[in-house]
Chains A and B, each alone.
Chain A
Amino acid sequence: MIGGHGAAVSLYPRLAWYGFRRHATYWAAALAGAFTNTVFGVLRAYVLIALWQARPGLGGYDVAGAVTFTFLTQAFIGPMQLFGGGLDLPQRIRTGDVALDLVRPASLQLRCLSEDLGRAAYLFVARGGPPTLVGALLFGVVAPHSPAAFLLSVALGVVVSFGWRYIVALATCWVMDDRGLGVLSMVLTTFFSGLMLPLAIFPGWFGDLARALPWSAMAQVPADVYLGTADPARALGFQALWAAVLLALGALMTGAARRKVVIQGG
């Protein structure tokens, strides 16, 4: 299913391009999202500035680093879909449209991933740009330690985020409704990604655990790669490992869903 010649090789890039264009159509939504992310970024920045003035050097960041961390993680909300969603799959499972996706001669998971990468690429610019820019103008942010490593880390973060959201979406097959799962996923993601507070400041076993979970690959790790507070090779390896684990789990679940699940309606 994954391999193929000629036409299939260009299917996935084309789907990514479609994901990009599709989200570009809804530019007003992206603009509204960017505005909200920026405003909350300013509020969070003041809170963190107060915290870092009281405890300088906390978690290994200085004040400029903490401010940069704030705006970077705000910028990740869109591309990494830190509040969940971004996939059509739960809706398609609920309505039964997924039946049509299952009579296609290409992997459902890879098709979803391609579209999601296109979506993330658009939102990285449209929803990542404004908060970072405003943060730089109002407070000043530090320059990326290694832009290439940072971009790679963001890309891997998106794959991890997709891997997780795809699993949550497929779980709709086994539970009656995806809303409860969505809320659970949102709480886990916003906290353990480092969006709420940098994971670096949590001490002891809880900090170690939080930093080892997949969600940290979505915000904490790419922010650390940007700031140079993490070893790039180790950080990218950590993200790649979680990406592989979650994608493999998603693939297994796709197979199980195909065998077990009865598609609703029609």
Chain B
Amino acid sequence: MIEADEAGRTFTVRRRVVHAVRDLSFRVAAGEFVACLGPNGAGKSTTIKMLTGILTPTSGRIRVAGLDPSRRRTALARRIGVVFGQRTTLWWDLPLRDSLELIRLLYKVDRKVFRERLDEMCDLLDLGGFLATPVRQLSLGQRMRGDITAALLHDPAVLVLDEPTIGLDVVSKAEVRDFLRRRCAEHGTTVLLTTHDLSDVERLCRRVLLIDHGRLAFDGTLDGLRATAPGATSIEEVVTDLYLRSRTTPRTPPPAPRPTPDGPSATA
């Protein structure tokens, strides 16, 4: 469902070439739930942007749902769903219901099908109580449930989740995880999850991709990842160990294509 063959992306910053991602090769089969880990600035966001067609790779080849993301962006947009935990796709001043209706029109979802899917989500995510509330008045947990609903209304084949549980309390986090695991398993959705919350990974994913210095540093099961640090007692320790080890090797700076007025931009 997702294929990357030696995909790379360089940025030119003040006439210096920076490799944000290089020689990235992996495959994700339909229905897999895969985590994408890596320290800040490792190239995760660049990878996601290439997979969703926002950025064009400068080398190599990428296919998502059989399409070249940067060339068939519009066609691909209909087949993927995107949740960015730190951003919202919903219309700030509209009631949640109206935002979802706009998404329905945007993705040309049939009214009857939309009704059924929304009912299903309302049941599973308990949206009923705040469908009529303007998005700006929702709590973070409610807004995230709204955003996840918005990403799934067109029943995408591939779902990209970028820190979907960031800032959520433990109960909301568990509910969101539970929903994602059940819904994606039932619909056979392929999911790529990036997160810094390792409990997300433990609950949801069997397979882990670890990106560091713009390269694929590990591709295997969670157990395989644990095996790389035999002495560690928790997955946090394993990952901390890996991140620290990678710091001692010479490091390419993270992509900072231009300075921003608010200081260096964070990569999510």
User: Chain A 1-39, CB within 8 Å of chain B: the 1/0 string?
Assistant: 100111110110011001001100100000000000000
User: Chain A 93-112, CB within 8 Å of chain B: the 1/0 string?
Assistant: 01111011011111000000
B95-113 CB contacts (< 8 Å) to partner A: 98, 101-102, 104-110
Q: Which of B81-89, B167-175, B201-209, B226-234 participates in binding chain A? A: B81-89
Candidates B80, B89, B102, B261; contact of A176 at CB < 8 Å: B261
Check B139 for interface membership: any CB of A closer than 8 A: no
User: Chain B 130-172, CB within 8 Å of chain A: the 1/0 string?
Assistant: 0000000000000000000000000000000010000000000
Candidates A4, A103, A177, A263; contact of B77 at CB < 8 Å: A103
Q: How many residues of chain A have a CB within 8 Å of chain B?
A: 33
> Which residues of A are found within 8 Å of B11, using beta-carbon distances?
262
B57-84 CB contacts (< 8 Å) to partner A: 73-75, 77-78, 80, 82, 84
Candidates A25, A103, A105, A264; contact of B265 at CB < 8 Å: A264
Check B8 for interface membership: any CB of A closer than 8 A: no
Of listed B105, B260, B265, residue having the most chain A CB within 10 A: B105
Nearest chain A residue, comparing its CB with the CB of B9 = A262
Candidates A21, A25, A104, A262; contact of B255 at CB < 8 Å: A262
Given the interface pairs A8-B108, A15-B102, A100-B84, the reply to whether A264 lies near B260 with Cβ below 8 Å is yes
Check B2 for interface membership: any CB of A closer than 8 A: no
Nearest chain A residue, comparing its CB with the CB of B261 = A177
Nearest chain A residue, comparing its CB with the CB of B46 = A262
Q: How many of chain B's residues touch chain A, expressed as a range? A: 35 or more
Establish whether residues A100 and B74, one from each chain, have CB atoms under 8 Å apart when the complex forms. no
Given the interface pairs A22-B94, A100-B82, the reply to whether A265 lies near B56 with Cβ below 8 Å is no
Given the interface pairs A7-B104, A105-B78, the reply to whether A266 lies near B266 with Cβ below 8 Å is yes
Establish whether residues B105 and A99, one from each chain, have CB atoms under 8 Å apart when the complex forms. no
Chain B contact surface mostly: loop
> Which residues of A are found within 8 Å of B91, using beta-carbon distances?
18, 22
Establish whether residues B108 and A7, one from each chain, have CB atoms under 8 Å apart when the complex forms. yes
> Which residues of B are found within 8 Å of A1, using beta-carbon distances?
74
CA distance A6 to B112 in the complex (A): 14
Check B30 for interface membership: any CB of A closer than 8 A: no
Check B267 for interface membership: any CB of A closer than 8 A: yes
CA distance A177 to B258 in the complex (A): 11
> Which residues of A are found within 8 Å of B109, using beta-carbon distances?
7
Establish whether residues B260 and A94, one from each chain, have CB atoms under 8 Å apart when the complex forms. yes
Establish whether residues A11 and B102, one from each chain, have CB atoms under 8 Å apart when the complex forms. yes
Establish whether residues B78 and A99, one from each chain, have CB atoms under 8 Å apart when the complex forms. no
Nearest chain A residue, comparing its CB with the CB of B162 = A266
B181 CB to closest chain A CB, in angstroms? Answer: 24
Check A234 for interface membership: any CB of B closer than 8 A: no
Check B116 for interface membership: any CB of A closer than 8 A: no
> Which residues of B are found within 8 Å of A6, using beta-carbon distances?
108
Check B49 for interface membership: any CB of A closer than 8 A: yes
Candidates A7, A15, A21, A176; contact of B258 at CB < 8 Å: A176
Establish whether residues A266 and B87, one from each chain, have CB atoms under 8 Å apart when the complex forms. yes
Nearest chain A residue, comparing its CB with the CB of B109 = A7
B227-268 CB contacts (< 8 Å) to partner A: 255, 257-261, 265-268
9 contacts between A and B (CB under 8 A): A7-B107, A7-B110, A18-B98, A100-B84, A103-B53, A105-B78, A263-B49, A263-B54, A266-B266
A residues apposed to B, CB below 8 Å? 1, 4-8, 10-11, 14-15, 18, 21-22, 25, 94-97, 99-100, 102-106, 176-177, 259, 262-266
Known pairs A6-B108, A102-B54, A176-B259. 19 more at Cβ < 8 A?
A7-B104, A21-B93, A22-B91, A25-B93, A94-B261, A95-B87, A96-B265, A97-B87, A99-B87, A100-B84, A103-B77, A105-B77, A262-B255, A264-B258, A264-B265, A265-B260, A265-B266, A265-B268, A266-B162
